[in-house]
Amino acid sequence: MGGTVTALAIHGCATSSKEPSKPNAASDAAVQASADGAAPSDGAVPALLSPWVAIAAGSFLMGTTETAWGRGRNNEDQVSVTLTHNFELGRYEVTQEEWTRLGFANPSSRAVLGPPATQDPTSGDNVGGRNPVGTVTWFEALAFANARSERASPPRPPCFELSGCTGEVGRGLICAAVRVKATSIYECEGYRLPTEAEWEYAARAGTQTDFYAGNFAAPNAPIPSPDPTLDRIAWYAFNSDRVSHPVGLKEPNAWGLYDVAGNAYEWVFDYYDGAGYGPGPLVDPTGVPDAMYRVMRGGCVWSPLNGYRSAARFYRLPADRVPLDGLRLARTLRPGERVDTN
């Protein structure tokens, strides 16, 4: 449901019985899957594919079992979730090129905007057009989604009403309140952040393993070490040099989504509650209303190894400005509607 969130002080960096739905098994024939493509083997930056991937509504098990390695102790309890709306999700994390094309200043940075001790010019956002945009507040992510809706052809109604705002998009926009301009986030017509459930459902692409390509090779190793499977799919702690990289260079999941593990964190819409998702089964959830924090997903180039799991949850205050905090857009697809082509 629509609600409000109060702007908060900036903090420093942190780091069912139903079977899961399978990719490309949509019962609604109107959902059009975009063409997949393999990442280049020579390290060259690829030509971007269709920017959107269509995801069919369905059910899945969100979270992890109590014995899973690296799980959040209290906030990943496994629960059955049903998503009742088809949606499209960005194939890639939003890039700095996309961000600045809408006229916004590029916020990407290699320094947490706080005391000098938190600033590290050797790590963080790698500034360049095809790298994911970073150092984005949650409010700026919503403002970007609104602008993307207004610039669509034809224009789409913006999903969010932001009020009591100070600052500018790309330079630390903070707002006193946010209202969803629809009965629920799932019902709004424009571009938006995905919900946490949509994000995990899409990232898993029908899997229940640690991440979409499998499980950790040595999860209980006394000293963390490079993981051969993560090397294929993610820019992570052992191959990234602690800076972001151009999108689309690693192997995608079965739905054709790139970088859902590693590279940049991704803001999602939901409120964060450390007690978990709530009792299930859940239908189109959005978290506990009016909680202090907002959820981030996917891990980044300096996350701990367990942070790259599909179920891993992170959170920040919505006003936080931290390098490698980015986003990926979503949009609800109406019955019979095709996925966007631009």
Residues shown for the chain: 342
Strands (E), 182-337: 265-272, 282-283, 293-297, 313-316, 325-327, 330-332
For the chain, first and last CA: distance in Å? 29
Q: What is the pLDDT along the chain (342 residues), one digit of tens a residue?
A: 444 333 322 222 333 333 444 554 333 333 333 333 333 334 444 455 679 999 999 999 999 998 898 988 778 999 999 999 999 999 999 999 999 999 999 999 887 766 666 667 778 999 988 999 999 999 999 999 999 999 999 999 999 999 999 999 999 999 999 999 999 999 999 999 999 999 999 999 999 999 999 999 988 888 889 999 999 999 999 999 999 999 999 999 999 999 999 999 999 999 898 878 878 899 999 987 777 899 999 999 999 999 999 999 999 999 999 999 999 999 999 988 877 776
- Tally of structural domains, the chain: 1
If one counts every other C-beta atom within 10 angstroms of the C-beta of residue 304, the result is 13
Q: Which domain holds residue 119?
A: 1-342
The b-or-e profile of 146-173 (16+ CB within 10 A means b, else e) is: bbbbeeeeeebebbbebeebeeebbebb
CATH number at residue 101: 3.90.1580.10
Nearest to 30 by CA among 82, 83, 85, 90: 85
Query: What distances in angstroms separate CA 76 from CA 27, 32, 81, 162, 312, one per listed residue?
Result: 29, 32, 13, 30, 8
Contact at 8 Å (CB) between 138 and 115? Answer: no
